[in-house]
Amino acid sequence: MKRSLIVAFAFLLVACFFIGAASADDRISASQAWSKIKAGALLVDVRSADEFNSGHIEGALNIPHTEISASLKQIGENKGREIVLYCHSGRRAGLARDELIKLGYSNVFNAGAYEGLNSAR
């Protein structure tokens, strides 16, 4: 029983670490995101194609977060260009942001949820 509790606690710690990796702490506000978009930042919707097709922000590229690494041609070679990401809640945008930063992109921003960003226009 004691060992099961220790294993469960360790699992909980690991899960919290991964959930925290894409926390709200790495997000920018909708108004900050729109300032960047209006100034020419690349806007990327990292939701699935079905989610994108059900509604998206005009001008956004659709690159599902699981395909970020394989879609660098669409993102471009300029690793200093500002990139604004959004998804349904901000979690997948955070994961995509982390991946792009690992790949050397330096100005990548998680704008959080589509609904919040869309309603702040």
Q: What is the DSSP string of 16-65?
A: HHHHHTT-GGGB--HHHHHHHHHTT-EEEE-S-HHHHHT---TT-EE--G
Predicted pLDDT of residue 5:
40
Predicted pLDDT of residue 1:
58
The answer to whether 97 and 110 are in contact (CB under 8 A) is yes
CA–CA separation, 82 and 108 (whole Å): 6
In this prediction the pTM is 0.80
Q: What is the mean pLDDT of each run of 10 residues along the chain (121 residues)?
A: 49 42 72 98 98 97 98 96 98 98 97 96 87
Predicted pLDDT of residue 121:
87
**Does domain 23-119 correspond to CATH entry 3.30.450.270?**
no
